[in-house]
Amino acid sequence: MPKITIKEVARLCNCSVSTVSRAINNDPNISAATRDRILQVAKAVNYVPNNSARQLRVSETNRIALLIKGIRNPFFQSLIPLFEQHLRMRGEEFVLHSINEGQDEVETGLLVAKEKRLKGLVFLGGRIEYPDVAFRDLKTPFVLCSVASNVPAYGQKCSAVSIDDEKEAFRAVDYLIKKGHRRIAILTGKRADNTVGFLRLAGYRRALKENNIEYDPDLVFYMRDELPEYSEENGYQVGLSMMRSGLDFTAIFVISDRTAIGLFKAVYDSGKRIPDDYSVIGFDGIEMAEYMIPALTTMVQPKEKMVATCVELLDRQIAGDDKKEQILYETVITERESVKDLSQ
């Protein structure tokens, strides 16, 4: 007889996997009537939680750690209180751990999971390559959120929530083209970046190609290696180089709102104005983008949905569901004042 899974129990109870998980783990946020109904069904079908779930209960830990690489990134900072809110609603203890630039995410995760006897892990930011090897020794349930990589490539190795960087960059540049811009520069990641910067540059190139605009490599400006990536300082220094280049362009796609802040200052320090001289579109949707002068048009990531989905996927794994899912969300183009319409 095939083993009954938690997903099958959820189907029989007409509820979510996470609800079954909370019932089995005696979560105080679930009603007694719902818990009793689920436990009766689970008993009737002889459902037995897997070993990892049983071990978690034996260890009597409720700690979920958020491991963040890029703590200064305003977008990541805006996700922290959302994770805390969702986890505390489930009766979980929230632990925040910052990973330094030179530290390995997975090695840090292994160490933190052991030291703090974690129930689950969320990796936020950073870069994780070859997940089939990297996560081999990590037994604690985990989910990746906005980790730099091509998310579908994770396959059945782990659950991940992100956006399609290539596709969303395409949409940003296509938006500029539809506004009448043909000479569009890009301020992208460092030259050796083979993840976010690479994918957003690929989206930029595809948008040009599909709109019959010739790709000009001179209009590609890379962040400086000696400066912190995606920083205001990097945006400022590269922005000055753009202004001094003498190249002809009317719009700039900046792959990070934070970097766009530095670019804005470089434009103004060069005696130019946005959007009169240059239109600018950013990426991420950080809160301060709305308060820039002029307010920045940007690609807003759906952070509330992303966080809720991460917690849901982690909840399922903790409950014993071995299925791994990779969820991609779309950004929302938020139009403000930094893009001039040349199509009229």
Q: What is the mean pLDDT of residues 277-297?
A: 96
Q: Whose structure tokens read 């933190």?
A: 112
Q: Is the pLDDT of residue 170 over 80?
A: yes
The two beta strands, 220-223 and 184-190, are parallel
- pLDDT band of 60, cuts 50, 70, 90: very low
- pLDDT band of 161, cuts 50, 70, 90: very high
Nearest alpha-carbon partner for 191 in 231, 237, 226: 226
Could you give the domains of the chain? 6-48 (no CATH), 59-161+303-328 (3.40.50.2300), 166-301 (3.40.50.2300)
Lowest mean pLDDT among 140-149, 151-160, 211-220, 316-325: 151-160
* Rounded Cα gap, residues 251 and 128, in angstroms: 33
DSSP string over 87-113:
HHHTTPEEEEEEE-TTS-HHHHHHHHH
- pLDDT band of 263, cuts 50, 70, 90: very high
pTM greater than 0.75: yes
Q: Is the pLDDT of residue 168 over 80?
A: yes
What's residue 228's pLDDT?
Answer: 87
What's residue 153's pLDDT?
Answer: 56
Contact assessment for residue 316 and residue 21, using Cβ atoms and an 8 Å cutoff: yes
Q: State the burial class of residue 85 (Cβ atoms within 10 Å of its Cβ: 0-12, 13-18, 19+).
A: middle
Phi, psi of 330 (to 5 degrees): -95, 150
Q: What is the mean pLDDT of residues 103-109?
A: 83
Tens digit of each residue's pLDDT (9 = 90 or more) over 229-243? 889 999 999 999 999
